[in-house]
Amino acid sequence: MVPPISVRLKLKKINKFMSTTIIDGKEVACKIREKLAEEIAELKALGKTPGLAVVLVGEDPASQVYVGSKVRACEELGLYSQKWELPADTTQEQLVELIHQLNADERIHGILVQSPPPAHIDEEAVILNIDPRKDVDGFHPANVAKLVLEDEEGFVPCTPLGCMELLKAYGISTAGKHAVVIGRSMIVGKPMANLLVSKKANATVTIAHSRTADLPGLCRTADIIVAAVGRPEMVNADYVKEGAVVLDVGINRIADSSRPRGYRIVGDVDYEAVKDKCSAITPVPGGVGPMTIAMLMANTVKACRQLTR
Q: Is 10 in the active site?
A: no
Confidence of residue 82 (pLDDT cuts 50, 70, 90): very high
pLDDT at 36 over 60: yes
| Residue 100 and residue 60 in one domain | yes
Sheet holding 178-182, edge to edge: 12-13, 21-22, 278-281, 244-248, 224-227, 178-182, 204-208
Is 304 among the domain residues? no
- In the listed set 75, 106, 135, which residue is the last one of a domain according to the structure? 135
Active-site hit among 24, 131, 135, 137 = 137
Active-site hit among 70, 134, 146, 177 = 70
| Residue 230 and residue 130 in one domain | no
Active-site hit among 24, 31, 114, 275 = 114
Q: Is 151 in the active site?
A: no
Render pLDDT for 37-59 as a digit per residue (tens, 0 to 9). Answer: 999 999 999 999 999 999 999 98
Work out the average pLDDT over 254-283.
94
Work out the average pLDDT over 255-276.
93
Q: Is 238 in the active site?
A: no
| Residue 101 and residue 222 in one domain | no
| Residue 114 and residue 176 in one domain | no
Q: Which domain holds residue 168?
A: 156-291
- In the listed set 78, 105, 135, which residue is the last one of a domain according to the structure? 135
Render pLDDT for 202-217 as a digit per residue (tens, 0 to 9). Answer: 999 999 998 999 999 9
Strand pairing category for 263-266 and 252-255: antiparallel
Query: pTM of the full predicted structure?
Result: 0.92
pLDDT at 176 over 90: yes
Is 140 among the domain residues? no
What total number of domains does the chain contain? 2
pLDDT at 14 over 50: no
Contact assessment for residue 152 and residue 181, using Cβ atoms and an 8 Å cutoff? no
| Residue 247 and residue 161 in one domain | yes
pLDDT at 239 over 70: yes
